[in-house]
């Protein structure tokens, strides 16, 4: 019976990863960052979406008079612009043609349903500083939601997670800021 209670180690996981891609290991730092993301996302989704997050609910919460999703989107948007727009420069006007393949991998399906397509268009508009007033908070949260979906539904390959660590560090900071802002709400529940 004790063997079933012996937890799997990072070395065990790395042995599986190496069987898929020679000389690949998930670092302890990446493991810690992903663990933090899982815990923060759990708190976030449970608290604000009744364990069922989706783009529509995000937009509704952000538009509500008592919007609890309070955070500063500027730093995250700057990071995402530099990540997803080829040769990004704040002094230059960019277009949808400037989005790189990494951006298109946020949702890699070749045929997107209209809701996902609408969400990606809102993200594009916010990253491009479009004048159509796309909510920058929505764009950041929608990207984090894509990270969550891609991680848990297998789009993010385990062998590439070390290269994804910065994405999850940014995600963790946003989620923490939202949760910390609502800490008194949690304390009173």
Q: What is the pTM of this model?
A: 0.84
- Arithmetic mean of pLDDT, 48-70: 91
CA distance 107 to 104: 6
Angle at 115 between CA 105 and CA 47, to 5 degrees: 90
Give Cβ neighbours of residue 127 (< 8 Å, ≥ 6 apart). Answer: 77, 80, 81, 84, 85, 99, 139
* 73, 136 Cβ separation under 8 angstroms: yes
- Between CA 175 and CA 177 the distance in angstroms is 5
- pLDDT by residue (tens digit) across 69-111? 999 999 999 999 999 999 999 899 999 999 999 998 887 555 5
Q: In the prediction, which pLDDT does 36 show? A: 93
pLDDT of residue 187: 57
Give the rounded percent of residues in the chain with a pLDDT score beyond 90.
47
């Amino acid at each position: 019976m004790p063997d079933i209670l012996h937890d799997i180690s990072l070395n065990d996981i790395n042995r599986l990863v190496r069987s898929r891609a020679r000389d690949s290991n998930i670092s302890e730092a990446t493991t810690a960052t992903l663990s933090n993301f899982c815990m923060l996302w759990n708190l976030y989704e449970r608290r604000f979406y009744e364990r069922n997050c989706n783009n529509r609910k995000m937009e509704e919460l952000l538009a509500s008079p008592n919007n609890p999703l309070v955070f500063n989107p500027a730093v995250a948007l700057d990071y995402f612009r530099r990540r997803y727009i080829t040769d990004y420069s704040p002094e230059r006007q960019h277009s949808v043609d400037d989005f790189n393949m990494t951006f298109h991998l946020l949702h890699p399906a070749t045929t997107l349903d209209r809701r996902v397509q609408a969400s990606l268009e809102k993200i594009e508009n916010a990253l491009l500083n479009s004048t159509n007033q796309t909510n920058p908070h929505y764009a950041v949260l929608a990207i984090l939601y894509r990270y969550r979906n891609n991680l848990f539904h297998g789009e993010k390959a385990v062998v590439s997670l070390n290269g994804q660590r910065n994405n999850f560090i940014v995600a963790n900071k946003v989620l923490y800021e939202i949760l910390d802002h609502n800490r008194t709400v949690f304390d009173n529940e």
